Amino acid sequence: MIKTKGINHIALVCRDMKETVQFYTEVLRMPLFKTVQLPDGGQHFFFDCGGGASVAFFWWKDAPAPAPGIASVKHFPMDAKTAVGSMNHLAFDMEEAELEATIERLKEAGVPHTPVVVNHDDSPGGVAQENHDGVFVRSVYFTDPNGIMLEFAATTKEFGPDDVAHEPATIEA
């Protein structure tokens, strides 16, 4: 049996390492704890995002161009689909009490974001205007300088057997 302890890191690709370092260290206040100069001239930098996990970025001068709507979200929430095998977004776990403060921090830094905390629930639309007992995650969404959609997410309830209520879809259906 393979037994993991959680996510060690996620590795993404940035367009400008200096800009990425500034955003993650100054705006998101995630310490840069390891830098690697790659033999091909690229770089690989690691940021501490808490709980023993990290977010890492590769940078190469000749990396392929961004592909919004394919490899990244084009515009949340109106156009949030991405291609098979792509990363849709990265969610950082945080306490619910911290969410409002993150909106202010993003606003101060000039980072576009959802204007309110999004209340995810099991309603047909998947979100509620107000927080209620059926809300299971509350979130704030924004993008980094690379166009990567990020989320600050606070789980607001414990999950149980009733929370697994849908059959998995298949292309064959």
Q: Alpha carbon of 91 to those of 3, 122, 137, 169: distances in Å? A: 22, 19, 11, 24
List, in sequence order, the alpha helices (H) in 26-148: 99-108
Q: pLDDT tens digits, the chain, 173 residues: what are they?
A: 888 888 999 999 999 999 999 999 999 999 999 999 999 999 999 999 999 999 999 999 999 999 999 998 888 777 888 988 899 999 999 999 999 899 999 999 999 999 889 999 999 989 999 999 999 999 999 999 999 999 999 999 999 999 998 889 888 85
pLDDT of residue 173: 56
83 Cα distance to chain centroid:
16
How far, in Å, CA of 6 to CA of 91, rounded? 14
3-state DSSP call for residue 105?
A: helix
CA angle 30, 120, 90 (to 5 degrees): 30
pTM summary value: 0.90
User: What domains can you pick out in the chain, each with its CATH number?
Assistant: 1-64 (3.10.180.10), 76-163 (3.30.720.110)
